[in-house]
Chain A
Amino acid sequence: MKKQTLKKIIPAITLFMALIAFNSCGNNNNASNGKSPDSNNKEIVILGAGSSFDYPLFSKMFDEYHTQNGIKVNYQSVGSGAGISQLTHKTVDFGASDAPMKPEQENDAGAAVIHIPITAGAVTISYNLPGFDQTLQLSPKVLADIFLGKITKWNDANIQAVNPGVKLPATAIVVAHRSDGSGTTNIFTDYLSKVDADWKSKVGTGTAVNWPAGLGGKGNEGVAGLIRQTPGAIGYVELAYAIQNQMPYARIQNQAGKFIQPSIESVTAAANVDIPADGKVLLTNTTADEGYPISGFSWVIIYKEQKYGDNTRAKAEALVNLLNWMIHQGQQYSADLDYAPLSEAAVNVGAKLLESVTFNGQPLLTAKQ
């Protein structure tokens, strides 16, 4: 009766495995070190999604936060557009975006949201030009024409004019842009719309636009990957991606006429503006003398009233504490990754906004630092 005993064993094994699988739900809290349990005795995991612009910084911050406080933050770099959409659907606890939510997006969200400035960074124009190992310089008009598809070869006279004394190869230009909804795109297209009337009328500003030319990559990661792999490519990526992947990036001419290298200093100079109480301000086309013209803030967006769905007070407190940590102690990790630490004005605006977050009407941030 071997087959019969086998027939008995298989259901037993599958049942056993099913029990293991479902039991692991209960065992998970035993495995954790028991810090910050909430009333259901389940480990707190904060779920966030959005901007790939911030991802290198967040990746480091959340790793450190986990080591210091034991709270896991699961952040998926899916693009600012997806971050906003997931927050609207309430499938994540916070969204991260380099483009502030538009009025109709806030309408779709249903409840009030707050934008907390979390960092500022540079959108670099990165390129891959074999045979050219100096730093490219670009003026606003040339940049716009390249992305409009008007300039198609690297040794075009217009590019040559802004780069006197260097020889550019005759390679074809391959434009790389975002295929997903991106705050990085928003910053870049906002800048192009401000400096080039042609771009403004033909393409405009947005987290996703009708690109006249080029390849699409998913996330800053995808665009960086495309640029790295494609000879003749040019695209826009956040500074940390260009540096981490040893990709060259261009100096861009700002309003003062100077060709500025994207760096912590030039972004900080551009971010030195008055920040409104709701935290939303765009930094592109800065008037600062040494400011990098394609800079931008990035925000973490949460609901003002945290009691929704099956959210618990403990989870909301953990979330607000996390954000508070991010704008204060978390900023120490920015410089190493070439993000500009928040100015005092920005931190104050963020702290004030956090104080307004409530759970069932009660403010969450008590006398904490």
Chain B
Amino acid sequence: MNTNSISGRLFKSSLAQWGIISLAAICVLPLFFILYYIIASGIKVIDWSFLTHLPKPVGETGGGIANAITGTLIIVIVASVMAVPFGVLSGFFLYEYKNNRLSRWAGVCVDALHGIPSIVIGIVAYFWLVKPMGGFSGISGSLALAVMMLPVVIRSTEETLNSLPPNLREAAMGLGMPLHKIMSRVLLPCGFGGIISGALLAVARVAGETAPLLFTAFGNPFMNADMSQPMQTLPLLIFNYAMSPYTSWQELAWGAAFILLSLVLLLNLITKIITHKWKIQL
């Protein structure tokens, strides 16, 4: 076939089209593989005792992951409390002062913070909280996670506010509203969906993080709600138990992976629904 003739060129075009479509379709496969294995292996293990009991000593069957679930919830919630208010305020700052030199540099820093590898943040949190406190603790884990959440919250707040019609702000200013009222009574309520989904995305990102918790929260075979002591979290449990040779522990890890994956995917789906409903491009 003469590839310079019209039929040749059309053939090349459809060849390319089908090639691209098949490659794109292959990309979806890993998701289904992963979902399938985790659901199949994890759902066997989950029952009420799994969710409410502590892990047993090595070699003994049974046990549960109650300490990991509690630990994840506490550490993530505290990290959100640390990151979200500050993040929203910073996002507002970046939106309000656009041509300011400080704002431009801060924007650069936010992007830079986003790209820092999570293990490096774990190292830094070790020096900032673990060494001075003399030990591992849940709060140092929360700090590390909060630093990771910050760029996501700031950027999504800023972009949400940018996507709002500018006349909202101008009208409010024209009415003589003070800045803090503009933020709290006009802009944030209007951009609420985008901001919340930014916060949820940040939570989904850090709920599954292991590396920053390796030398901060450290892990704990017991139930612990005291943030000044080491805590166990779902990702840490998965990491430790998956690599162990004990079948009973590996089963716990599959169950924990199922719960963690469900949590993260659920958060992402909620975010998608919110952004779709509010028609925001995050």
> A41-67 vs B: 1/0 string, CB under 8 Å?
000010100000001100110110000
Determine whether the beta carbon of B134 is less than 8 Å from that of A91.
yes
Contact with B along A233-263 (1 / 0, CB 8 A): 0000000010011000000000000000000
Contacts of A63 in B (CB 8 A): 56-57
Chain A residues closer than 8 Å to B245, beta-carbon distance: 221, 224-225, 228, 241, 244-245
Query: What is the CB-to-nearest-CB distance from A179 to chain B, in angstroms, rounded to a whole number?
Result: 11
Per the CB 8 Å criterion, the residue count for chain A at the interface is 44
Within 8 A of B (CB), among A75-124: 75-76, 89-92
Assembled-state Cα–Cα distance A158/B114 (Å):
56
Chain A nearest CB from B156 CB (Å) reads 16
Q: Are A25 and B226 in contact (CB under 8 A)?
A: yes
- The 8 A CB mask of A6-31 against B (1 = contact, 0 = none) is 11000100100110011011011000
Tell me which residues across on chain A come within 8 A of B219, comparing CB atoms. Answer: 76
In the complex, chain B residues 202-232 whose Cβ is within 8 Å of any chain A Cβ = 218-222, 224-230
For the residues of A in contact with B, the DSSP-based class is helix
For B56, the chain A residues whose CB sits under 8 A away are 63
Query: A24 and B225: CB pair below 8 A?
Result: yes
A217, CB-defined interface residue at 8 Å: yes
| Given A74-B220, A221-B244, residue A56 in contact with residue B188 (CB < 8 A) | no
Q: How far is the CB of A46 from chain B (nearest CB, A)?
A: 11
Q: Mark B124-159, 1 if CB is under 8 A from A, else 0.
A: 000000110011100000000000000000000000
Once the chains bind, are B80 and A14 in contact (CB under 8 Å)?
A: yes
Cβ of A72 < 8 Å from any Cβ of B? Answer: yes
Please state if A310 and B57 are interface contacts (CB–CB under 8 Å).
no
Q: Which residue of B lies closest to A7 (CB)?
A: B189
Is A90 within 8 A of B230, CB to CB?
A: no
Interface flag for A222 (CB, 8 Å): yes
Q: Is A3 an interface residue (CB 8 A)?
A: yes
- Is B81 within 8 A of A18, CB to CB? yes
**Given A55-B58, A76-B218, A244-B58, are A14 and B81 neighbors across the interface (CB < 8 Å)?**
yes
Is B100 in contact with chain A by the CB < 8 A criterion? Answer: no
The proximity string for A residues 195-239 relative to B, scoring 1 for CB distances below 8 Å and 0 otherwise, is 000000000000000000000011101101100100000000000
Whose C-beta in chain B lies nearest to the C-beta of A308? B134
Q: Interface code B168-189, partner A: CB below 8 Å = 1, 0 otherwise? A: 0000000000000000110011
Q: A18-B81, A74-B222, A310-B134 are in contact. Are A60 and B243 (CB under 8 A)?
A: no
Contact between chains at A22 and B227 (CB < 8 Å)? yes
Closest residue of chain A to B192 (Cβ to Cβ) is: A3
- Is there a chain A Cβ closer than 8 Å to B264's Cβ? no
Contact between B58 and A59, CB atoms less than 8 A apart: yes
Q: Is A4 an interface residue (CB 8 A)?
A: yes
A56 touches B59 (CB 8 A): yes
Contacts of A11 in B (CB 8 A): 85
Closest to A310 in B: B134
In the complex, are the beta carbons of B58 and A89 less than 8 A apart?
A: no
Q: Is A18 touching B135 in the complex (CB atoms < 8 A)?
A: no
Within 8 A of A (CB), among B63-78: 74, 77-78
Q: How far is the CB of B67 from chain A (nearest CB, A)?
A: 11
Across the interface, which residues of B come within 8 angstroms of A218, CB to CB? 243
Q: Which residue of A lies closest to B184 (CB)?
A: A7
B97 part of interface (Cβ distance < 8 Å): no
A224 to B77, CA, bound (A): 36
With contacts A7-B189, A45-B229, A222-B243 known, is A18 near B78, CB below 8 A? yes
Minimum C-beta distance from B159 to chain A (A): 20
A164 touches B (CB below 8 Å) = no
* Chain A residue contacts of B227, Cβ below 8 A: 21-22, 24-25
Q: CA separation between A204 and B135, bound complex, in Å? A: 34
A56 to B228, CA, bound (A): 27
> A11 to chain B: closest CB distance in Å?
8
A76 CA / B222 CA spacing, docked (Å): 12
Contacts of A245 in B (CB 8 A): 245-246
A45 contact set on B, CB distance < 8 A: 222, 224, 229
Quick check: is B161 within 8 A (CB to CB) of the other chain? Answer: no
A228 cross-chain contacts in B, Cβ below 8 A: 245
Q: Shortest Cβ distance from B208 into chain A, in angstroms? A: 20
Q: Tell me if A309 is interfacial: C-beta within 8 Å of chain B.
A: yes
Residue of A6, A21, A224 contacting most chain B CB atoms (<10 Å)? A21
Once A24-B74, A91-B135, A241-B245 are accepted as A-B contacts, the answer to whether A4 and B189 lie under 8 Å apart by CB is: yes
Given A17-B77, A28-B226, A222-B243, the answer on whether A56 and B58 have CB atoms closer than 8 Å is: yes
A76 to B230, CA, bound (A): 11
Q: Can you give 12 contacting A-B residue pairs, CB < 8 Å?
A: A7-B188, A21-B225, A25-B226, A56-B58, A59-B57, A72-B222, A74-B220, A74-B221, A74-B229, A76-B230, A218-B243, A244-B59
6 other A-B residue contacts (CB within 8 Å) besides A21-B74, A91-B134, A222-B243:
A45-B222, A74-B229, A76-B230, A217-B243, A225-B245, A244-B246
Which residue numbers of B lie inside 8 Å of A, CB to CB?
56-59, 74, 77-78, 80-81, 84-85, 130-131, 134-136, 184-185, 188-190, 192, 218-222, 224-230, 243-246
